[in-house]
Amino acid sequence: MSEVTDQMRRHSAAHLMARAVQNVFDDVQVDIGPATDEGFYYDFDLPHRLSPEDFPRIEAEIARLIALDEPFVRKVVSRAECAQMLAGQTYKLERLADIPEGEDISTYTVGDYVEMCRGPHVEHSKQIGVVKLRRVAGSYYRGDENNKMLQRIYGIIARDQAEMDAILAREEEAKKRDHRRLGTELDLFHLDPEDPGQVFWHPRGWSIYVTLQDYMRRKLVKDGYQEVNTPALMPRSLWERSGHWAHYQQNMFITESEKRLFAVKPMNCPGALEIFKSRTRSYKDLPLRLAEFGHCARNEPSGTLHGIMRVRGFVQDDAHIICMEEQIEAEVAKFCHLLKDVYSDFGFDQNMKVRLSTMPEDHVGDEATWRKAEDALAKALVANGMDYAIQEGEGAFYGPKLEFKITDALDREWQCGTIQLDYQLPSAERLNAEYIGADGKKHHPVMLHRAVLGSLERFIGILIEHYAGAFPLWLAPEQIRILPISDKAAAYAQKVQAALAAAGYRVEIDSSAEKLGAKIRAATVAKVPYQVVVGPRDEAAEQISVRSRADGDLGAMKLDAFLARLAAEMKS
């Protein structure tokens, strides 16, 4: 028996769900049902309007079909035979017509259900495990809004009920940690439906944003980067030369001025090369590491936007390393070291998953150059002892890339770091970047596009959910809240605040008329790392009473002792 993967189990579950829906309801037309990284879905066209109230009936039928333990049987058939097998299924027959003449047509049959599918699938239905349906949503046929809206059911699988219970518990916890919910509750940001995909940062959220940028700036200076800034609006002529006009125009915001077309930059790379080209460069100048926190805009479909995780306007911790071919391996190794260093500061597991994404169908440059670039990235990973998997055809249009996935507190994977190797943009055919080599001749460098955090908006969203809004002391927008017991302690509270602020901490005073218990509850809900309670007795004793979010009531202590504790925690 071959190894049964999660993807095979999810894909097979999709087939059984389609079969179950056909068994439960009348006049069901099915379209497609692939596996996803989280589960699976299937698109249906039927008179009945599906809702979560239908899920128990469908789940019961799926469980019955799984218990039959029927085999998934693959068969390669002719076009005519496949059309006969799919008779009456309009969408399937249209998909069949898309298959080029002469190409093998693969089908899978389980029980009385047949599907045109490349597979692979499990051998028997019991290998699927347990299925749970999660939600139903609308989905245009072939993703085209001019086509009919179908009904899409999403589901997940588990090996047994115990694992499913654990998955559902994690989902409930994920709802509590949802960055959109916490973003509102903690007053970090808001999103305006009139301006989709744009983030309005409130003071507390912007504090996190700026702290994150400053942190990365310190890391970059240490790692030999120079920070630059390039225009947000650039002419069509530049985007044509870079290749973005032909390969990325659908994602660009375009405007006109004085009968010329301009685009808001969706990425920073052409600007970095324009800076490189602004004067004569020598091989001694390389590698040149140019970092930019440049604001980019991408015309993402509104239906794909998700809180601050996927937006239209964003800033990346972007950088471009312009170097010689023989420097590629060392620069990729240096980048991997930086990644591990940064991620450890946020408490992410160091067992990163690495993916090498190769040449897509829509690409610039010849295949030989692409293979050379892919081999260079693979060798750099091997030299650094990093395992990786291949993602066929998932590279950028200008070059292959490495993607690095981190795991959060709920064991969810997030792709953040990336480094892309680009022979195309600096070439004579594109932006024609050159340097003078040791031989006195002109050469074209290569360029590494890289980001550690990726979009700052998205990374902050990940952090909100990873920490459940309880940010570590160094990142928390409000690090300390002072709670005076009464107005008699107001002057002492201001004195303590001034001392803590002078030491560089973000401190606020709760000067409301609420009783101390209510103030403590409010600070706890706001997830402030430290609460400092002060009253006349504390002032007389020249001390403060400290409560820690992590460790509870720490009792009375001198201000100097508290500052020493804060300094140690910030350092760690």
Active-site position among 10, 312, 449, 547: 449
CA distance 378 to 235: 36
The candidate with the shortest Cα–Cα distance to 290, out of 452, 454, 450, 456, is 450
One-letter amino acid at 445 equals P
CA distance 125 to 50: 25
Active-site position among 121, 401, 430, 466: 401
The candidate with the shortest Cα–Cα distance to 106, out of 127, 130, 128, 82, is 82
CA 546 to chain centre: 37
End-to-end CA distance of the chain: 50
Active-site position among 10, 132, 298, 363: 298
Q: Helix, strand or coil for residue 155?
A: strand
Active-site position among 22, 151, 316, 497: 316
Q: Is 449 a catalytic residue?
A: yes
Per-residue HEC secondary structure of 309-367 comes to CECCEEEEEEEEEEECHHHHHHHHHHHHHHHHHHHHHCCCCCCCEEEEECCCCCCCCCH
Q: What share of the chain is helix, strand, coil (3-state, %, to 5)?
A: 40, 25, 35
Q: Is 320 a catalytic residue?
A: yes
Active-site position among 318, 408, 422, 538: 318
Q: Is 336 a catalytic residue?
A: no
CB of 561 closer than 8 Å to CB of 554? no
**Burial readout 27-55 (b: 16 or more C-beta within 10 A, e: otherwise):** ebbbbbbebeeebbbbbbbbeeebeeebb
One-letter amino acid at 539 equals E
Q: Helix, strand or coil for residue 386?
A: coil
CA distance 486 to 323: 63
Contacts of 389 (CB under 8 A, 6+ apart): 353, 354, 355, 356
Residue given tokens 């940064």 in the structure block: 342
Q: Is 458 a catalytic residue?
A: no
Active-site position among 11, 320, 363, 430: 320
The candidate with the shortest Cα–Cα distance to 276, out of 432, 451, 429, is 432
Q: Is 298 a catalytic residue?
A: yes
CA distance 419 to 104: 37
CA distance 449 to 356: 14
Q: Which helix (H) or strand (E) holds 502?
A: helix 490-502
Q: Is 175 a catalytic residue?
A: no
Contacts of 181 (CB under 8 A, 6+ apart): 175
CA distance 399 to 267: 15
CA distance 527 to 532: 14
Contacts of 326 (CB under 8 A, 6+ apart): none
CB of 288 closer than 8 Å to CB of 446? no
Active-site position among 82, 117, 269, 296: 269
One-letter amino acid at 16 equals L
CA distance 134 to 156: 7
Q: Is 401 a catalytic residue?
A: yes
Contacts of 428 (CB under 8 A, 6+ apart): 444
Give catalytic residue positions: 269, 298, 316, 318, 320, 401, 449
